[in-house]
Amino acid sequence: MENDKFLVQYHNLVTDDETGSLREEAGASDIRPSHPRIQRPYAFELSEIVDAWYNDGWWMGCIVKVHNKLKYTVHFKTTEELEFELCELRPHQEWIDRNWFTVPKICSLYLH
């Protein structure tokens, strides 16, 4: 690999023929450690920005409906609204200056 390139092997993604874990080349600036786990003593709230586990990855979205404290509807900028169980959501964090930060954000632009 070139000096600033690495071969990344994914835990949750497989090759097209499903014979092994997906591997791809990535630049050094694209590689970051996994999010730290955050213990939440409370449920998610309406208009809170979250990451949702969908289609083999974590995607940022906004909670637009709280069905109960265990099920939520999340809106994504690029897709429709989808329902998720609490275990499929995590607090959104931003990677800034080589550190993870929980950035409390309200996504009022998503609400209709």
107: DSSP letter: -
3-state secondary structure of 64: strand
- More confident of the two residues 108 and 86: 86
- More confident of the two residues 1 and 101: 101
What digits encode the pLDDT tens for the residues 10-54? Answer: 887 888 898 989 999 998 888 888 888 887 767 899 999 999 999
Q: For position 112, what pLDDT does the model report?
A: 46
Q: For position 23, what pLDDT does the model report?
A: 92
Q: For residues 48 and 70, what is the distance between their CA atoms, to the nearest angstrom?
A: 15
What digits encode the pLDDT tens for the residues 60-94? Answer: 999 999 998 889 999 998 878 999 999 999 999 99
88: DSSP letter: G
> What is the CB neighbour count within 10 angstroms for residue 93?
18
Q: For residues 66 and 44, what is the distance between their CA atoms, to the nearest angstrom?
A: 8
Q: Given a cut of 60, is residue 110 above it in pLDDT?
A: no
- pTM of the model as a whole: 0.77
